[in-house]
Chains A and B, each alone.
Chain A
């Protein structure tokens, strides 16, 4: 094996095709898009060099800042919830349900495989206020409360999006984390139990540190996925009411393709890339110490 990996030609043959595809579908578009950030215009009008105008515009654009703030809020809250609930479910599968968890795992995982648009339509009907009253508002009225315009107001619509995405994704993170938890050797848990650790103490001192790598992967996976949210929001609220639930991705799409400002749209995209990169870096840095300890 050492001889094969020491041969430059072998490395080229093994890595070449993947590197070529990666370069063609990732690096070239990123570089291309970065070039657009210094221009103004679109494919019809043509492009003119704009220097750093698009970057200055981004930081002065209240809609962009609102979208950035929405994206960060959404990503942080949903990551905490989907990884947190996923972890709790994984602990439940591993330590409470054990072998009988297959059916529950399947049921909880099921929303992950449903098409986004179908889930969004389901939630629209679920939280409908007019012309027909959805189940949630019917329940409110049954309890003597007044009906809520869930998707017509900024606050409630944010939480409906969070709830929908949590319902869709928690099963996926539960399975991902479950795979990490079942890898913890049984004898370590057994010896901890003999030493008197149980319940929360067992999870805090044994399970959590040993599952930290997979937990870290889940957090990075989740934060990057949620920062780039697009389809669920387009299908459920289309960024509304107004621009209250417009993430950076949707703002980028509108700027580029609705408003025909490719340069500014690319700038928004680059900012999102930078945000994802910084978030990943931050998570790596903040957990490095713990990992070396573990």
Chain B
């Protein structure tokens, strides 16, 4: 027997032991205990993002007023962390079965589906029915959230309903003789006019990526119809198909022409918001959650009256329509099954009954809950309410059906479209590959 064979024999049991140990340790992963019964936990715990301070504000107001009895039985305990690593934090908490009673849901719909499949989220369709408050959730909001998670039951609360589109600086458009464009061709023409006049046509947070990738998604929905992205998710079409690449190319051409300004890929969300609100650009693709910024006089230097809303325009010859408004429910709230009992269901009932009114009256926020009275809302908020009321249907956003990897790859590369360093075909291939896993 030579030396190497002897050495191998000596180490074989050690390697085997490590292997067995490794697999045994891995098998020690905790399993979720999802049995909720009795009164549940003595506190009503909430976990959210520091950026979404409105939710905490509404809950705290409810705890002192409409939900004071529920708060006495199970006092509200709020906790919030920065949203930059939100999904990671949720995953770790869920893995340890340590989610709060009420929590902002996962940012990626795919992760939320994992929570649903693992039985960690309360089925609100059943629960709201048994509490007799299911009418307090608007049917349009219910269908939006159901569509988002691909479920026929409701698993999250519509604490926010947003529409997305182009907000524009009325002054900059009228100074340059531009009427709000209704087609993509008009929009590109307007951008060329603005650029020639020394005005930055589009403001976009290229670093965040999604304000650019949403343009690609919306172009697809306008050009190929509202089911075009579902076809990709179902495997009936690919983002690398020429008709899909054309959408990314249309956005890449805006980037190549310099319409997003210098170094567009490095502009972050706050800088972009500040740029638009100080007159640094004409068109700003954004969600209606930005109304809080638009209605803030200290932040908004161009004036709320000077901002108009433009639905994402039609694409000439396309089968989609600009009245199919891109909508989302922000990051909706989920009730978790761990420690769920009568204390928590009492809170759920109270939230369903009162959240909509409180959010609208106190923060001017539009939710998917029924509101009882007429609130005195700012003009821009009224615009959003009107769009929501008049839209015959809504569409989801570009990444809504993507995997977590596809979403990340899309949003980290979209800045390349805005600064003209990535072609439409390159972008779509990267995203499709990521979706394929």
| Among listed A93-101, A211-219, A238-246, interface-contacting one | A238-246
Q: What is the minimal beta-carbon distance from A134 to any residue of chain B, in angstroms?
A: 10
Map CB proximity to B onto A90-133 as digits: 1 under 8 Å, 0 otherwise.
00000000000000000000000000000000000000111100
- CB-contact partner of B266 in A46, A152, A259, under 8 A: A152
Instruction: Give the CA-CA distance A34 to B22 in the complex, in Å.
Output: 6
The answer to whether A39 and B416 touch across the interface, beta carbons within 8 angstroms, is no
Instruction: Give the CA-CA distance A118 to B50 in the complex, in Å.
Output: 21
Return chain A residues, CB-CB under 8 Å to B280.
131
Return chain A residues, CB-CB under 8 Å to B146.
none
Instruction: Give the CA-CA distance A62 to B115 in the complex, in Å.
Output: 30
- CB of A158 within 8 Å of the partner chain: no
Given A44-B91, A130-B263, A240–B415 Cβ distance below 8 Å?
A: yes
- CB of B389 within 8 Å of the partner chain: no
The answer to whether A31 and B95 touch across the interface, beta carbons within 8 angstroms, is no
Chain A positions 185-239 with a Cβ under 8 Å from a chain B Cβ = 238-239
Q: What is the minimal beta-carbon distance from A35 to any residue of chain B, in angstroms?
A: 3
Chain B positions 11-26 with a Cβ under 8 Å from a chain A Cβ = 18, 21-26
The answer to whether B120 and A260 touch across the interface, beta carbons within 8 angstroms, is no
| Among listed B347-355, B363-371, B374-382, B404-412, interface-contacting one | B404-412
Chain B positions 267-300 with a Cβ under 8 Å from a chain A Cβ = 267, 271, 275, 280
The answer to whether B262 and A258 touch across the interface, beta carbons within 8 angstroms, is no
Return chain A residues, CB-CB under 8 Å to B409.
243
- CB of A151 within 8 Å of the partner chain: yes
Given A130-B263, A131-B275, A152-B263, A258–B88 Cβ distance below 8 Å?
A: yes
- CB-contact partner of B95 in A42, A147, A153, A259, under 8 A: A42
Instruction: Give the CA-CA distance A28 to B92 in the complex, in Å.
Output: 19
- CB of B265 within 8 Å of the partner chain: yes
Q: What is the minimal beta-carbon distance from B202 to any residue of chain A, in angstroms?
A: 13
- CB of B87 within 8 Å of the partner chain: yes
The answer to whether A44 and B264 touch across the interface, beta carbons within 8 angstroms, is no
The answer to whether A149 and B266 touch across the interface, beta carbons within 8 angstroms, is yes
Instruction: Give the CA-CA distance A243 to B32 in the complex, in Å.
Output: 35
The answer to whether B94 and A44 touch across the interface, beta carbons within 8 angstroms, is yes
- CB of A18 within 8 Å of the partner chain: no
Map CB proximity to B onto A241-279 as digits: 1 under 8 Å, 0 otherwise.
111000000000010011110000000000000000000
Instruction: Give the CA-CA distance A243 to B207 in the complex, in Å.
Output: 12
Interface size classification for chain A: 35 or more
Map CB proximity to A onto B111-123 as digits: 1 under 8 Å, 0 otherwise.
1001101101000
The answer to whether A130 and B25 touch across the interface, beta carbons within 8 angstroms, is no
The answer to whether A257 and B91 touch across the interface, beta carbons within 8 angstroms, is yes
- CB-contact partner of A35 in B23, B404, B433, under 8 A: B23
Q: What is the minimal beta-carbon distance from A62 to any residue of chain B, in angstroms?
A: 8
Residue in chain B with minimal CB distance to A32: B25
The answer to whether A149 and B275 touch across the interface, beta carbons within 8 angstroms, is no
Given A129-B266, A130-B261, A241-B416, A259–B403 Cβ distance below 8 Å?
A: yes
- CB of B430 within 8 Å of the partner chain: yes
Among A32, A46, A241, the one with the most B-chain Cβ atoms within 10 Å of its Cβ is A241
The answer to whether A45 and B118 touch across the interface, beta carbons within 8 angstroms, is yes
The answer to whether A147 and B94 touch across the interface, beta carbons within 8 angstroms, is no
- CB of B8 within 8 Å of the partner chain: no
The answer to whether A258 and B25 touch across the interface, beta carbons within 8 angstroms, is no
Chain A positions 31-64 with a Cβ under 8 Å from a chain B Cβ = 31-32, 34-36, 38-39, 42-47, 62
The answer to whether B25 and A239 touch across the interface, beta carbons within 8 angstroms, is no
Instruction: Give the CA-CA distance A239 to B265 in the complex, in Å.
Output: 13
The answer to whether B26 and A39 touch across the interface, beta carbons within 8 angstroms, is yes
- CB of B421 within 8 Å of the partner chain: yes
The answer to whether B415 and A152 touch across the interface, beta carbons within 8 angstroms, is yes
- CB-contact partner of A31 in B18, B27, B421, under 8 A: B18
- CB of B29 within 8 Å of the partner chain: yes
- CB-contact partner of B265 in A39, A47, A149, under 8 A: A149
Instruction: Give the CA-CA distance A17 to B114 in the complex, in Å.
Output: 41
Return chain A residues, CB-CB under 8 Å to B421.
152-153, 241
Return chain A residues, CB-CB under 8 Å to B114.
42, 44-45, 260
Given A35-B25, A44-B115, A152-B419, A147–B408 Cβ distance below 8 Å?
A: no
Given A131-B267, A259-B403, A260-B111, A241–B29 Cβ distance below 8 Å?
A: no
Q: What is the minimal beta-carbon distance from A13 to any residue of chain B, in angstroms?
A: 25
Sorted nearest first, the 3 A-B pairs with minimum C-beta distance are A43-B95, A35-B22, A35-B26
- Name 12 interchain pairs, CB-CB below 8 A, sorted by A: A34-B22, A45-B117, A149-B262, A149-B263, A152-B265, A152-B415, A240-B412, A242-B416, A243-B409, A243-B413, A259-B408, A260-B111
Q: Given contacts A43-B91, A243-B412, A257-B91, list 8 more A-B pairs with CB under 8 A.
A: A31-B22, A34-B22, A35-B24, A129-B263, A130-B261, A257-B87, A258-B88, A259-B403
